[in-house]
Amino acid sequence: MSTRDKIKEAAVSHIVEKSLVLVAILVGLAWVALKPFIVQRILPALSKELLAGLLAATIILVLVASAYIFYLRKKLYPKLKYHFGVLWDEAQNPFCPKDKMPLQIKKANNPYEKFPDDFVCIGCERRFTLTDENGFAIFTVNDAKQKMFSAQRHDPSRTPSPPQ
């Protein structure tokens, strides 16, 4: 992400934040202005059963919305495991260890080349080469996926920790 894009994103988030504050202030002012009308005319006309039903419906909607937010949050931030110098999700997609953004694969130029595949972070533009536990480069992404799959099949509880 370039500096220009970061500035643009920061400006947009600042404008959205200020707009939401303004809307909250306007809603508060409307409530203060309409509260006497609501208390004197509308509340006495409503039955207790209707108010209880509205309360129950509100509670159910809040619970459903909370469950949906939890589901989306779990989907947005997948569980990542550290292998071969990068983070991997359950679908074996690589992520940057620094900012947890997806990594873009830069393949070797031809299949007979001895250099390993490289990864480039979309967010911070760091370059990564896959290395095994001994520090040796793994030649392709497919090799890393095969080693990771065979390690999970033998001992699923063993996951190396990222370097500090």
Residues 9-38 have pLDDT tens digits of 889 889 999 999 999 999 999 999 998 888
**pLDDT score of 115:** 58
Write out pLDDT tens, residues 41-81: 887 888 889 989 999 999 999 999 999 999 888 777 778 88
- Structure letter (DSSP) for residue 145: H
Quote the tokens at residue 128. Answer: 């990564």
pLDDT of amino acid 153: 56
> Which has more pLDDT, 136 or 126?
126
100 torsion bin: left (phi>0), alpha (psi -120 to 50), beta (else): left
Give the pLDDT confidence score for residue 109 in this predicted structure. 62
Task: Give 85's contacts (C-beta < 8 A, 6+ positions apart).
Answer: 97, 128, 129, 130, 131
Average pLDDT for residues 145-160, to the nearest whole number?
A: 61
Q: Report d(CA 155, CA 151) in Å as an integer.
A: 6
Q: How far apart are CA 14 and CA 77, in angstroms?
A: 24
